[in-house]
Structure 1
Amino acid sequence: MRVAIFANMGRKTQAVKQKLTRKFQERHFIIDEVTPEVVVTIGGDGTLLSAFYHYRQQLETIRFVGVHTGHLGFYTDWRDDEIDDLVISLQSDNRQSVSYPLLDVLVHYNNQDRPQRFLALNESTLKRASSTMVTDVYIGGELFERFRGDGLCISTPTGSTGYNKSVGGAVVHPDMEVMQIAEISSINNKVFRTLSSPMIIASNDWITLKPMASRENKQDLLLTVDSNSYHDHNIRQIRYKIAKERIKFAKYRHTHFWHRVQEAFIGDEYGD
Protein backbone atom coordinates (compact mmCIF):
# COMPACT_ATOMS: atom_id res chain seq x y z
CA MET A 1 0.00 0.00 0.00
CA ARG A 2 1.18 3.51 -0.86
CA VAL A 3 0.67 5.89 2.07
CA ALA A 4 1.40 9.54 2.75
CA ILE A 5 1.61 11.27 6.12
CA PHE A 6 0.33 14.84 6.30
CA ALA A 7 1.02 16.54 9.65
CA ASN A 8 1.06 20.00 11.15
CA MET A 9 4.27 21.40 12.62
CA GLY A 10 3.40 20.98 16.30
CA ARG A 11 6.05 19.27 18.42
CA LYS A 12 3.71 16.48 19.56
CA THR A 13 2.39 15.97 16.05
CA GLN A 14 5.88 15.71 14.57
CA ALA A 15 6.81 13.11 17.18
CA VAL A 16 3.77 11.04 16.22
CA LYS A 17 4.67 11.42 12.55
CA GLN A 18 8.20 10.10 13.17
CA LYS A 19 6.81 7.14 15.10
CA LEU A 20 4.24 6.33 12.41
CA THR A 21 6.81 6.67 9.63
CA ARG A 22 9.10 4.22 11.40
CA LYS A 23 6.30 1.70 11.83
CA PHE A 24 5.27 2.02 8.18
CA GLN A 25 8.84 1.33 7.11
CA GLU A 26 9.08 -1.67 9.44
CA ARG A 27 5.87 -3.13 7.94
CA HIS A 28 7.05 -2.47 4.36
CA PHE A 29 4.50 0.17 3.44
CA ILE A 30 5.49 2.42 0.54
CA ILE A 31 5.81 6.04 1.64
CA ASP A 32 4.53 7.98 -1.37
CA GLU A 33 3.74 11.68 -0.91
CA VAL A 34 2.87 12.17 -4.60
CA THR A 35 0.43 9.40 -5.54
CA PRO A 36 -0.70 7.77 -2.29
CA GLU A 37 -3.66 5.44 -1.91
CA VAL A 38 -4.22 6.49 1.71
CA VAL A 39 -3.34 9.82 3.31
CA VAL A 40 -2.94 9.74 7.08
CA THR A 41 -3.34 13.19 8.61
CA ILE A 42 -1.96 13.94 12.07
CA GLY A 43 -3.19 16.94 14.04
CA GLY A 44 -6.85 17.89 13.89
CA ASP A 45 -9.63 18.87 11.53
CA GLY A 46 -7.59 21.82 10.29
CA THR A 47 -4.78 19.51 9.26
CA LEU A 48 -7.17 17.25 7.39
CA LEU A 49 -8.64 20.28 5.65
CA SER A 50 -5.14 21.26 4.49
CA ALA A 51 -4.54 17.72 3.24
CA PHE A 52 -7.84 17.82 1.36
CA TYR A 53 -6.71 20.92 -0.53
CA HIS A 54 -3.25 19.51 -1.14
CA TYR A 55 -4.69 16.35 -2.75
CA ARG A 56 -7.92 17.80 -4.17
CA GLN A 57 -6.98 16.75 -7.73
CA GLN A 58 -6.69 13.10 -6.62
CA LEU A 59 -9.90 12.63 -4.61
CA GLU A 60 -11.06 9.77 -6.83
CA THR A 61 -8.07 7.60 -5.90
CA ILE A 62 -7.32 8.68 -2.32
CA ARG A 63 -8.85 7.76 1.02
CA PHE A 64 -8.13 9.76 4.16
CA VAL A 65 -7.50 8.65 7.73
CA GLY A 66 -7.39 11.23 10.52
CA VAL A 67 -5.31 10.97 13.71
CA HIS A 68 -6.02 13.64 16.32
CA THR A 69 -3.39 14.85 18.75
CA GLY A 70 -5.84 16.91 20.81
CA HIS A 71 -9.62 16.75 21.02
CA LEU A 72 -11.75 14.42 18.89
CA GLY A 73 -12.56 16.12 15.62
CA PHE A 74 -15.28 15.56 13.07
CA TYR A 75 -12.77 14.16 10.56
CA THR A 76 -10.31 12.38 12.87
CA ASP A 77 -11.14 8.88 14.11
CA TRP A 78 -7.90 7.76 15.75
CA ARG A 79 -6.04 8.99 18.84
CA ASP A 80 -2.29 9.48 18.78
CA ASP A 81 -1.86 6.59 21.25
CA GLU A 82 -3.55 4.16 18.83
CA ILE A 83 -0.86 4.17 16.14
CA ASP A 84 -0.20 0.43 16.46
CA ASP A 85 -3.88 -0.40 15.95
CA LEU A 86 -4.04 1.95 12.96
CA VAL A 87 -1.08 0.26 11.28
CA ILE A 88 -2.65 -3.18 11.81
CA SER A 89 -5.91 -1.92 10.28
CA LEU A 90 -4.05 -0.58 7.26
CA GLN A 91 -2.28 -3.92 6.82
CA SER A 92 -5.60 -5.74 6.62
CA ASP A 93 -7.16 -3.09 4.39
CA ASN A 94 -10.15 -4.23 2.32
CA ARG A 95 -10.45 -0.89 0.48
CA GLN A 96 -13.80 -0.04 2.03
CA SER A 97 -14.58 3.63 2.46
CA VAL A 98 -17.25 6.09 3.50
CA SER A 99 -17.70 9.22 1.40
CA TYR A 100 -19.22 12.64 2.07
CA PRO A 101 -20.54 15.42 -0.22
CA LEU A 102 -18.48 18.43 -1.24
CA LEU A 103 -19.60 21.87 -2.36
CA ASP A 104 -19.03 23.00 -5.95
CA VAL A 105 -18.47 26.78 -6.06
CA LEU A 106 -18.47 28.46 -9.47
CA VAL A 107 -17.64 32.19 -9.47
CA HIS A 108 -18.40 34.37 -12.50
CA TYR A 109 -16.61 37.72 -12.77
CA ASN A 110 -17.62 40.83 -14.67
CA ASN A 111 -14.16 41.25 -16.18
CA GLN A 112 -13.45 37.60 -17.08
CA ASP A 113 -14.98 35.31 -19.67
CA ARG A 114 -14.29 32.07 -17.83
CA PRO A 115 -15.58 31.36 -14.32
CA GLN A 116 -13.35 30.16 -11.49
CA ARG A 117 -14.21 26.89 -9.76
CA PHE A 118 -13.57 25.92 -6.14
CA LEU A 119 -14.32 22.85 -4.02
CA ALA A 120 -15.34 23.30 -0.39
CA LEU A 121 -15.22 20.61 2.28
CA ASN A 122 -17.05 22.66 4.93
CA GLU A 123 -18.58 25.90 3.71
CA SER A 124 -18.40 29.01 1.57
CA THR A 125 -19.54 32.47 2.65
CA LEU A 126 -20.18 35.75 0.87
CA LYS A 127 -20.02 39.02 2.82
CA ARG A 128 -19.56 42.73 2.32
CA ALA A 129 -16.40 44.01 3.93
CA SER A 130 -17.69 47.43 4.99
CA SER A 131 -21.50 47.65 4.90
CA THR A 132 -24.76 45.80 4.29
CA MET A 133 -24.65 43.20 1.54
CA VAL A 134 -27.54 43.16 -0.92
CA THR A 135 -27.80 39.95 -2.94
CA ASP A 136 -30.49 38.30 -5.03
CA VAL A 137 -30.84 34.66 -4.07
CA TYR A 138 -31.97 32.15 -6.72
CA ILE A 139 -32.93 28.55 -5.93
CA GLY A 140 -32.87 26.24 -8.94
CA GLY A 141 -32.78 29.21 -11.31
CA GLU A 142 -35.84 30.95 -9.78
CA LEU A 143 -35.54 34.20 -7.82
CA PHE A 144 -36.31 33.39 -4.18
CA GLU A 145 -35.52 36.57 -2.25
CA ARG A 146 -33.43 39.73 -2.12
CA PHE A 147 -31.19 39.34 0.90
CA ARG A 148 -29.96 42.27 2.97
CA GLY A 149 -27.61 41.70 5.85
CA ASP A 150 -24.05 40.80 6.80
CA GLY A 151 -23.77 37.78 4.51
CA LEU A 152 -24.75 34.24 3.59
CA CYS A 153 -23.20 30.89 4.46
CA ILE A 154 -23.57 27.83 2.23
CA SER A 155 -22.38 24.62 3.87
CA THR A 156 -21.99 20.89 3.32
CA PRO A 157 -23.43 18.38 5.82
CA THR A 158 -20.02 17.83 7.41
CA GLY A 159 -19.53 21.60 7.52
CA SER A 160 -22.91 22.11 9.20
CA THR A 161 -21.31 21.74 12.65
CA GLY A 162 -18.89 24.63 12.02
CA TYR A 163 -19.54 28.23 11.09
CA ASN A 164 -23.00 27.30 9.82
CA LYS A 165 -24.05 26.22 13.31
CA SER A 166 -22.68 29.41 14.86
CA VAL A 167 -24.98 31.53 12.65
CA GLY A 168 -28.07 29.48 13.48
CA GLY A 169 -27.93 26.78 10.81
CA ALA A 170 -29.07 23.21 11.38
CA VAL A 171 -26.76 20.27 12.05
CA VAL A 172 -27.14 17.84 9.11
CA HIS A 173 -26.06 14.20 9.01
CA PRO A 174 -23.35 13.71 6.34
CA ASP A 175 -25.18 10.76 4.79
CA MET A 176 -27.60 13.31 3.34
CA GLU A 177 -26.46 14.62 -0.03
CA VAL A 178 -27.66 18.18 0.49
CA MET A 179 -26.34 21.69 1.04
CA GLN A 180 -27.57 24.35 3.40
CA ILE A 181 -27.90 28.12 3.14
CA ALA A 182 -27.95 30.15 6.35
CA GLU A 183 -28.35 33.89 6.77
CA ILE A 184 -25.81 35.98 8.65
CA SER A 185 -27.57 38.84 10.49
CA SER A 186 -30.31 39.51 7.94
CA ILE A 187 -32.31 42.75 7.98
CA ASN A 188 -36.02 42.13 8.44
CA ASN A 189 -38.55 44.92 8.92
CA LYS A 190 -41.68 46.31 7.22
CA VAL A 191 -39.68 47.22 4.12
CA PHE A 192 -37.16 44.39 3.74
CA ARG A 193 -38.04 40.72 4.24
CA THR A 194 -36.14 37.43 3.94
CA LEU A 195 -37.12 33.91 4.94
CA SER A 196 -34.95 34.41 8.02
CA SER A 197 -34.42 30.67 8.40
CA PRO A 198 -31.79 28.19 7.22
CA MET A 199 -32.77 26.16 4.16
CA ILE A 200 -31.78 22.61 3.20
CA ILE A 201 -31.33 22.35 -0.57
CA ALA A 202 -31.61 19.01 -2.43
CA SER A 203 -28.77 17.66 -4.54
CA ASN A 204 -30.61 18.24 -7.83
CA ASP A 205 -31.04 21.96 -7.10
CA TRP A 206 -28.54 24.78 -7.02
CA ILE A 207 -28.12 28.16 -5.36
CA THR A 208 -27.14 31.29 -7.28
CA LEU A 209 -26.13 34.54 -5.58
CA LYS A 210 -26.16 37.74 -7.65
CA PRO A 211 -24.71 40.54 -5.51
CA MET A 212 -25.70 44.14 -6.16
CA ALA A 213 -23.15 46.94 -6.22
CA SER A 214 -23.33 49.81 -3.76
CA ARG A 215 -24.03 53.43 -4.70
CA GLU A 216 -20.33 53.92 -5.21
CA ASN A 217 -20.47 51.08 -7.77
CA LYS A 218 -18.23 48.92 -5.60
CA GLN A 219 -19.15 45.53 -4.26
CA ASP A 220 -16.35 45.34 -1.67
CA LEU A 221 -17.10 41.62 -1.38
CA LEU A 222 -15.35 38.98 0.66
CA LEU A 223 -15.72 35.41 -0.58
CA THR A 224 -14.50 32.56 1.60
CA VAL A 225 -14.11 28.91 0.62
CA ASP A 226 -13.35 26.95 3.78
CA SER A 227 -10.35 28.72 5.35
CA ASN A 228 -9.37 30.57 2.15
CA SER A 229 -10.46 34.19 1.59
CA TYR A 230 -10.82 36.07 -1.70
CA HIS A 231 -11.34 39.83 -1.97
CA ASP A 232 -12.80 40.84 -5.31
CA HIS A 233 -14.83 43.81 -6.61
CA ASN A 234 -15.95 42.14 -9.82
CA ILE A 235 -18.12 39.17 -8.86
CA ARG A 236 -21.16 38.91 -11.10
CA GLN A 237 -22.64 35.78 -9.61
CA ILE A 238 -21.76 32.64 -7.64
CA ARG A 239 -23.37 29.28 -8.25
CA TYR A 240 -23.36 26.58 -5.59
CA LYS A 241 -24.27 22.93 -6.02
CA ILE A 242 -23.31 19.50 -4.73
CA ALA A 243 -20.03 18.53 -6.40
CA LYS A 244 -19.51 15.41 -8.47
CA GLU A 245 -16.39 14.76 -6.41
CA ARG A 246 -16.63 13.37 -2.88
CA ILE A 247 -14.15 12.99 -0.05
CA LYS A 248 -13.52 9.39 0.99
CA PHE A 249 -12.38 8.09 4.37
CA ALA A 250 -10.91 4.63 4.90
CA LYS A 251 -13.58 2.69 6.78
CA TYR A 252 -11.64 1.04 9.56
CA ARG A 253 -13.36 2.67 12.50
CA HIS A 254 -15.49 5.65 11.60
CA THR A 255 -16.95 7.27 14.72
CA HIS A 256 -20.72 7.68 14.75
CA PHE A 257 -21.62 11.21 13.62
CA TRP A 258 -24.09 11.94 16.43
CA HIS A 259 -21.54 10.76 18.98
CA ARG A 260 -19.14 13.33 17.58
CA VAL A 261 -21.81 16.03 17.84
CA GLN A 262 -22.68 15.01 21.39
CA GLU A 263 -19.06 14.97 22.52
CA ALA A 264 -18.18 18.24 20.77
CA PHE A 265 -21.12 20.34 21.97
CA ILE A 266 -22.68 18.63 25.00
CA GLY A 267 -20.01 16.53 26.66
CA ASP A 268 -20.38 13.67 29.11
CA GLU A 269 -22.83 15.33 31.52
CA TYR A 270 -25.73 13.20 30.31
CA GLY A 271 -23.71 10.13 29.48
CA ASP A 272 -25.00 8.20 32.49
Structure 2
Amino acid sequence: MPERNNIYFFYTTDDKLDEKLKPLFNLVRENNFNIVDDPSHANVIVSIGGDGTFLQAVRQTGFRQDCLYTGITRSNESGLYCDFNIDNFDDMLHTMLHEEMEVRRFPVIDVQVNGQSAFHCLNEVSIRSTIIKSIVIDVHIDDMYFETFRGDGLIVATPTGSTGYNKSTQGAVVDPKIPCFQVSEVASLNNNRYRTLGSSFILNKDRQLTLKMVQDGNDYPIIGMDNEAYSIRNIQNVTVNLSDKVIKTVKLKHNSYWDRVKRTFL
Protein backbone atom coordinates (compact mmCIF):
# COMPACT_ATOMS: atom_id res chain seq x y z
CA MET A 1 0.00 0.00 0.00
CA PRO A 2 2.31 2.78 -1.24
CA GLU A 3 0.24 5.68 0.08
CA ARG A 4 0.60 4.42 3.67
CA ASN A 5 4.09 2.93 3.71
CA ASN A 6 5.94 5.27 6.09
CA ILE A 7 5.61 4.37 9.77
CA TYR A 8 6.82 6.33 12.78
CA PHE A 9 7.00 4.56 16.14
CA PHE A 10 6.34 6.63 19.26
CA TYR A 11 7.48 5.06 22.53
CA THR A 12 9.77 5.46 25.51
CA THR A 13 12.87 3.46 24.81
CA ASP A 14 14.28 0.91 27.22
CA ASP A 15 16.56 -2.09 26.69
CA LYS A 16 13.89 -4.73 27.27
CA LEU A 17 11.36 -3.10 24.95
CA ASP A 18 14.00 -2.35 22.30
CA GLU A 19 14.92 -6.03 22.20
CA LYS A 20 11.29 -7.08 21.89
CA LEU A 21 10.69 -4.61 19.06
CA LYS A 22 13.53 -5.86 16.85
CA PRO A 23 11.54 -8.72 15.26
CA LEU A 24 8.58 -6.38 14.83
CA PHE A 25 10.70 -3.81 13.02
CA ASN A 26 12.04 -6.60 10.79
CA LEU A 27 8.45 -7.68 10.08
CA VAL A 28 7.56 -4.10 9.12
CA ARG A 29 10.43 -3.90 6.63
CA GLU A 30 9.65 -7.35 5.18
CA ASN A 31 6.15 -6.08 4.40
CA ASN A 32 7.51 -3.11 2.42
CA PHE A 33 6.93 -0.45 5.06
CA ASN A 34 9.54 2.19 5.79
CA ILE A 35 10.39 3.14 9.37
CA VAL A 36 11.03 6.89 9.56
CA ASP A 37 12.67 8.94 12.31
CA ASP A 38 10.66 12.10 11.68
CA PRO A 39 6.90 11.88 12.37
CA SER A 40 6.21 14.59 9.80
CA HIS A 41 7.31 12.12 7.11
CA ALA A 42 5.00 9.35 8.31
CA ASN A 43 1.65 8.23 6.95
CA VAL A 44 1.07 6.04 10.01
CA ILE A 45 2.04 6.95 13.57
CA VAL A 46 2.18 4.00 15.95
CA SER A 47 2.31 4.45 19.73
CA ILE A 48 3.67 1.60 21.84
CA GLY A 49 2.27 1.63 25.36
CA GLY A 50 -1.12 2.31 26.88
CA ASP A 51 -3.65 5.07 26.36
CA GLY A 52 -1.35 7.65 27.95
CA THR A 53 1.31 6.94 25.33
CA PHE A 54 -1.28 7.19 22.57
CA LEU A 55 -2.43 10.60 23.84
CA GLN A 56 1.17 11.80 23.95
CA ALA A 57 1.80 10.50 20.42
CA VAL A 58 -1.15 12.49 19.10
CA ARG A 59 -0.24 15.63 21.08
CA GLN A 60 3.48 15.64 20.32
CA THR A 61 2.94 15.07 16.60
CA GLY A 62 0.47 17.92 16.30
CA PHE A 63 -2.94 16.22 15.95
CA ARG A 64 -2.16 15.50 12.31
CA GLN A 65 -5.09 15.22 9.93
CA ASP A 66 -3.18 13.63 7.05
CA CYS A 67 -2.16 10.36 8.68
CA LEU A 68 -3.49 7.40 10.63
CA TYR A 69 -2.75 6.86 14.31
CA THR A 70 -2.80 3.47 15.93
CA GLY A 71 -1.89 2.17 19.36
CA ILE A 72 -0.10 -1.01 20.42
CA THR A 73 -0.23 -2.07 24.05
CA ARG A 74 2.51 -4.02 25.76
CA SER A 75 1.74 -7.57 26.86
CA ASN A 76 0.53 -6.54 30.32
CA GLU A 77 -1.42 -3.44 29.30
CA SER A 78 -4.86 -2.67 27.91
CA GLY A 79 -6.15 0.47 26.27
CA LEU A 80 -9.34 2.00 24.93
CA TYR A 81 -7.42 3.79 22.17
CA CYS A 82 -5.27 0.78 21.29
CA ASP A 83 -6.55 -1.97 18.98
CA PHE A 84 -3.36 -4.01 18.87
CA ASN A 85 -1.08 -5.80 21.28
CA ILE A 86 2.66 -6.15 20.88
CA ASP A 87 2.15 -9.91 20.59
CA ASN A 88 -0.25 -9.62 17.61
CA PHE A 89 1.39 -6.74 15.75
CA ASP A 90 1.36 -8.78 12.54
CA ASP A 91 -2.45 -8.50 12.60
CA MET A 92 -2.14 -4.75 12.09
CA LEU A 93 0.20 -5.15 9.12
CA HIS A 94 -2.07 -7.77 7.59
CA THR A 95 -5.06 -5.48 8.02
CA MET A 96 -3.27 -2.56 6.38
CA LEU A 97 -1.90 -4.62 3.50
CA HIS A 98 -4.64 -7.09 2.64
CA GLU A 99 -7.96 -5.97 4.05
CA GLU A 100 -10.25 -3.05 3.50
CA MET A 101 -9.38 -0.87 6.42
CA GLU A 102 -11.98 0.48 8.77
CA VAL A 103 -11.04 3.90 10.08
CA ARG A 104 -12.42 5.45 13.25
CA ARG A 105 -12.69 9.19 13.62
CA PHE A 106 -12.41 10.38 17.20
CA PRO A 107 -13.71 13.88 18.08
CA VAL A 108 -11.31 16.54 19.41
CA ILE A 109 -12.10 19.66 21.44
CA ASP A 110 -10.52 23.10 20.96
CA VAL A 111 -9.64 24.98 24.13
CA GLN A 112 -8.82 28.68 24.40
CA VAL A 113 -7.41 30.25 27.57
CA ASN A 114 -8.01 33.98 28.08
CA GLY A 115 -9.01 34.24 24.41
CA GLN A 116 -5.40 33.68 23.31
CA SER A 117 -3.61 30.41 24.00
CA ALA A 118 -5.22 27.63 21.94
CA PHE A 119 -4.96 23.90 22.58
CA HIS A 120 -6.44 20.67 21.22
CA CYS A 121 -7.54 17.80 23.44
CA LEU A 122 -8.43 14.25 22.47
CA ASN A 123 -9.42 13.14 25.98
CA GLU A 124 -10.42 16.09 28.17
CA VAL A 125 -9.58 19.46 29.63
CA SER A 126 -9.91 19.78 33.40
CA ILE A 127 -9.72 22.85 35.62
CA ARG A 128 -8.92 22.25 39.29
CA SER A 129 -8.13 24.30 42.33
CA THR A 130 -4.52 24.15 43.55
CA ILE A 131 -5.21 25.50 47.04
CA ILE A 132 -7.37 24.34 49.94
CA LYS A 133 -10.28 26.43 48.79
CA SER A 134 -13.10 25.83 46.35
CA ILE A 135 -12.76 27.29 42.89
CA VAL A 136 -15.66 29.43 41.66
CA ILE A 137 -16.54 29.34 37.95
CA ASP A 138 -19.40 30.99 36.08
CA VAL A 139 -20.59 28.56 33.41
CA HIS A 140 -21.97 29.95 30.14
CA ILE A 141 -23.49 27.93 27.29
CA ASP A 142 -23.30 29.92 24.07
CA ASP A 143 -24.28 33.42 25.22
CA MET A 144 -26.42 32.24 28.15
CA TYR A 145 -25.31 32.27 31.78
CA PHE A 146 -26.07 28.76 33.08
CA GLU A 147 -24.77 28.39 36.65
CA THR A 148 -22.03 29.29 39.12
CA PHE A 149 -19.97 26.27 40.09
CA ARG A 150 -18.20 26.01 43.45
CA GLY A 151 -16.05 23.00 44.20
CA ASP A 152 -12.77 21.31 43.33
CA GLY A 153 -13.08 21.72 39.57
CA LEU A 154 -14.74 20.92 36.24
CA ILE A 155 -13.98 18.38 33.50
CA VAL A 156 -14.87 18.84 29.84
CA ALA A 157 -14.49 15.49 28.08
CA THR A 158 -14.71 14.24 24.52
CA PRO A 159 -16.70 11.04 23.88
CA THR A 160 -13.54 8.89 24.01
CA GLY A 161 -12.38 10.82 27.07
CA SER A 162 -15.67 10.03 28.77
CA THR A 163 -14.22 6.71 30.00
CA GLY A 164 -11.36 8.41 31.87
CA TYR A 165 -11.37 11.11 34.54
CA ASN A 166 -14.95 11.95 33.54
CA LYS A 167 -16.20 8.43 34.38
CA SER A 168 -14.54 8.55 37.80
CA THR A 169 -16.80 11.51 38.65
CA GLN A 170 -19.92 9.56 37.61
CA GLY A 171 -20.07 11.10 34.15
CA ALA A 172 -21.70 9.17 31.30
CA VAL A 173 -19.78 6.99 28.85
CA VAL A 174 -20.54 8.44 25.41
CA ASP A 175 -20.41 6.79 22.00
CA PRO A 176 -17.61 8.44 19.97
CA LYS A 177 -19.89 8.47 16.91
CA ILE A 178 -21.82 11.26 18.62
CA PRO A 179 -20.15 14.64 17.93
CA CYS A 180 -20.44 16.26 21.34
CA PHE A 181 -18.61 17.00 24.58
CA GLN A 182 -19.51 16.51 28.24
CA VAL A 183 -19.16 18.70 31.32
CA SER A 184 -18.75 17.02 34.72
CA GLU A 185 -18.29 18.37 38.23
CA VAL A 186 -15.53 17.50 40.69
CA ALA A 187 -16.76 17.71 44.31
CA SER A 188 -19.29 20.50 43.86
CA LEU A 189 -20.78 22.37 46.80
CA ASN A 190 -24.56 22.04 46.86
CA ASN A 191 -26.47 23.39 49.84
CA ASN A 192 -28.98 26.11 50.75
CA ARG A 193 -26.50 28.80 49.72
CA TYR A 194 -24.81 27.30 46.67
CA ARG A 195 -26.50 25.33 43.92
CA THR A 196 -25.34 23.73 40.67
CA LEU A 197 -26.95 21.20 38.34
CA GLY A 198 -25.20 18.47 40.31
CA SER A 199 -24.82 16.12 37.34
CA SER A 200 -22.94 15.87 34.08
CA PHE A 201 -24.43 17.42 30.96
CA ILE A 202 -23.69 16.90 27.27
CA LEU A 203 -23.43 19.65 24.67
CA ASN A 204 -23.99 19.32 20.94
CA LYS A 205 -21.20 19.97 18.45
CA ASP A 206 -22.39 23.49 17.64
CA ARG A 207 -22.42 24.68 21.26
CA GLN A 208 -19.75 26.83 22.86
CA LEU A 209 -18.89 26.45 26.53
CA THR A 210 -17.30 29.38 28.37
CA LEU A 211 -15.93 29.00 31.90
CA LYS A 212 -15.25 32.32 33.60
CA MET A 213 -13.09 32.23 36.72
CA VAL A 214 -14.39 34.36 39.58
CA GLN A 215 -11.39 36.45 40.64
CA ASP A 216 -11.36 35.73 44.36
CA GLY A 217 -7.71 34.83 44.82
CA ASN A 218 -8.07 31.30 43.43
CA ASP A 219 -7.30 32.28 39.85
CA TYR A 220 -4.17 30.16 39.44
CA PRO A 221 -5.68 26.69 38.89
CA ILE A 222 -4.15 23.66 37.27
CA ILE A 223 -5.44 23.04 33.76
CA GLY A 224 -5.09 19.47 32.57
CA MET A 225 -4.94 18.92 28.81
CA ASP A 226 -5.27 15.17 28.22
CA ASN A 227 -2.43 13.82 30.37
CA GLU A 228 -0.41 17.04 30.63
CA ALA A 229 -0.79 19.72 33.31
CA TYR A 230 -0.39 23.46 32.70
CA SER A 231 -0.12 26.16 35.34
CA ILE A 232 -1.28 29.47 33.88
CA ARG A 233 -1.38 32.49 36.17
CA ASN A 234 -4.44 34.72 36.31
CA ILE A 235 -6.83 32.63 34.26
CA GLN A 236 -9.89 34.68 33.44
CA ASN A 237 -11.80 32.41 31.09
CA VAL A 238 -11.61 29.12 29.24
CA THR A 239 -13.62 28.53 26.06
CA VAL A 240 -14.33 25.06 24.68
CA ASN A 241 -15.71 24.08 21.26
CA LEU A 242 -15.85 20.82 19.37
CA SER A 243 -13.03 20.98 16.84
CA ASP A 244 -13.20 20.45 13.10
CA LYS A 245 -10.25 18.11 13.61
CA VAL A 246 -10.65 14.38 14.18
CA ILE A 247 -8.08 11.72 14.99
CA LYS A 248 -8.19 8.86 12.49
CA THR A 249 -7.24 5.39 13.75
CA VAL A 250 -7.09 1.95 12.18
CA LYS A 251 -9.90 -0.30 13.40
CA LEU A 252 -9.79 -4.07 13.67
CA LYS A 253 -12.96 -5.87 12.67
CA HIS A 254 -15.07 -7.09 15.58
CA ASN A 255 -13.31 -4.71 17.96
CA SER A 256 -15.63 -1.75 18.32
CA TYR A 257 -15.34 0.98 20.91
CA TRP A 258 -18.01 -0.78 22.96
CA ASP A 259 -16.15 -4.09 22.72
CA ARG A 260 -13.17 -2.38 24.35
CA VAL A 261 -15.35 -0.67 26.96
CA LYS A 262 -16.82 -4.05 27.88
CA ARG A 263 -13.39 -5.68 28.18
CA THR A 264 -12.08 -2.82 30.29
CA PHE A 265 -14.91 -2.31 32.75
CA LEU A 266 -17.18 -5.41 32.75
> TM-score scaled to structure 2, two decimals?
0.91
- Give the superposition deviation at 1:91: 2.3
Report the number of matched residues.
258
Unaligned runs of at least 5 residues, structure 2:
none
Match of 2:226 in 1: 226
Residue 248 of structure 1 deviates from its aligned partner by 0.4
The reply to whether residue 82 of structure 1 matches residue 82 of structure 2 is no
Structure 1 stretches of at least 4 aligned residues deviating more than 4 Å after TM superposition: 93-96
Hey, what does 1:111 align to over in structure 2? none
Could you tell me how far apart the structure 1 residues matched to 2:248 and 2:20 are? 23
| Residue pairs, 1:57-206, within 5 angstroms | 57=63, 59-69=64-74, 70-92=76-98, 94=100, 96-108=102-114, 115-130=116-131, 131-206=133-208
- Say which SS state the counterpart of residue 65 (structure 1) adopts: strand
C-alpha change, 1:37 and 1:253, in structure 2 (3 Å) is: farther
Percentage of identical aligned residues: 33
User: Aligned to 1:24, which of 19, 23, 28?
Assistant: 28
Q: Please give the secondary structure, in 2, of the residue aligned with 1:56.
A: coil
| Structure 2: distance between partners of 1:99 and 1:253 | 15
How far apart, in 2, do the equivalents of 1:9 and 1:213 lie? 44
Structure 2 SS opposite 1:21 = helix
Q: Deviations over 1:135-192 (max 9, x none)?
A: 1000112100011111000000000000000011111011111100000011011111
What's the counterpart of residue 210 of structure 1? 212
Give the 3 Å change call, closer, same or farther, for CA 95–257 of structure 1 in structure 2. closer
Q: How far off its partner does 1:236 sit?
A: 1.4
Superposed CA RMSD in Å reads 1.7
1:27 positional shift? 2.4
- Once the 2 structures are TM-superposed, how far is the Cα of residue 232 of structure 1 from its aligned partner? 2.2
Take 2:230 and 2:119, find their aligned partners in 1: how far apart are those partners?
11
Amino acid at match of 1:102: V
Q: Which amino acid aligns with 1:145?
A: E
Q: Is the 8 A contact 2:49 2:77 kept in 1?
A: no
Q: Compute the displacement of 1:28 (Å).
A: 2.5
CA-to-aligned-CA distance 1:95-118 (integer Å, 9 cap, x gap)? 65211101110111xxxxx60011
TM (norm. structure 1) is 0.89
Unmatched segments (≥5 aa) in structure 1: 109-113, 267-272
Task: Indicate if the aligned counterparts of 1:8 and 1:14 stay in contact, CA closer than 8 A.
Answer: no
